[in-house]
Structure 1
Amino acid sequence: MKILGSYRLFLLLLAACAATAGIGLTALRLNNAADTALADINVRAAVLNAEKAGEKIDALHEAAENADIFIFSESDARKWFLDALDSFLKKYDAKVVTPMQKTDSAFRSRVSFRFTPKTPTELAILLEYMENSVAPVFIIESTAFISTEKERYINVTAEIIQPFYGGGK
C-alpha cells in the first residue's frame, strides 16, 4: 500500500510539474507575443510621429506661402543678407560693429550709423522701414540723439538678422 501511495504521489507531482511546465510555456509564448506587439506599436508610433511632423512642416510651409513669408535656404539667405547689408552700408554710411556670423540658423551682424534727418518724417520713415523689414530683420539696439553746436544727429546701433531654413547648431 505504501508503494501505491508513493506512486500516486509521484503521479500527482508529475501532473503538477506538467501543468506548471505548460503554464510556463504558455506564459513564455504570451510574453514573446507581447514583445512582438510592443515592437510593432513602437515602429508604427515612430512612423506616425514622422508623418505628423511632415504634415506640420507642410502646413507651416503652406502658411508661410500664404502669408508671403520668404523661406531662405542657407546659401540664398547668405546672398540676400550680404546684398541687404551692402546696400544699407552704402545708403546710410553705416559701419559694421560685428562681422557677419552664422548662429542658430541665421546670419547676424551689428551695424552703427549716424543719421541726420532733415525732417522728423525722414526719421519716422527710416525707423518704420527697419521695424517692418522681414528680410532681413532689423533689431534696433540703441539710439542716441546728439546735439552739438555744429550739428544734430542720431546715432543708431542695430542688429541685422537673416534667418534661413535648416543648418542649426
Structure 2
Amino acid sequence: MGTITAQILVGSGHPYHDGIAPSHRLYLSENSRPSWILVPENWGGGSGGNKVTWIPTLENSLEDALLMIGIHVVKDPELVELASQYISSKENNWVVVYEDADPENLSLLYQRCRALENTFKLVITVMRGSLIEAKLKVLEDYKMDVEVCRPQFVRLFSQWLDQTRIEGEL
C-alpha cells in the first residue's frame, strides 16, 4: 500500500468565514506509482457514490486532480463531454492518464478546467516530499477558492537513525 502525501478536500466554502463543507476527498497515494483516489464524503450515511482512481501524469499531477474534480464532482457539462471524447479508459472509475489520453487532448481538458467558474472550494494539504509539492503554482491559473496547507512543524522519529528530528516551530 502506498503512502498518502497529499489530500484535497472538495466542497463549498462558507460565505462569511473560512472553512469548508466537504462533499469529496482526494488522496494522493505514492509508492511504485502515484495515484489519485477520489471518494465522496459520507457524513449523512448514504452511499454517496463510487471511488474513482486516476494514475496521473508526473508532469501535471496536480492538474490531473483538478481535472478529476471538474469531471466527477463539479460535473461541468462541457468538460464531461470533452473527457468522454478524449479519455479512452474502458473503466469509468479507473484512468491511467498518460495512457488513456493524448498530451494534446489533455492540454485542451486542462484549459477547459481552468475556465470553470468559482463554484467550489478546495483545501489542499501537502506533506513534505509529495509529488505535487513543486506544482502548487499552477493553482494561480484556476478560479476556485483554495487554501493550501503545508508543514510548519514536523516531529518525526527515524528508525534508521534511531532519533527524533524536529523542524519548524509551532
Is the shorter-chain TM-score for this pair beyond 0.5, marking a shared fold? no
Structure with the higher fraction of residues in helix conformation = 1
Task: Report which of the two structures shows the higher radius of gyration computed on alpha carbons.
Answer: 1
**What is the TM-score normalised by the length of structure 2?**
0.21
**What is the TM-score normalised by the length of structure 1?**
0.21
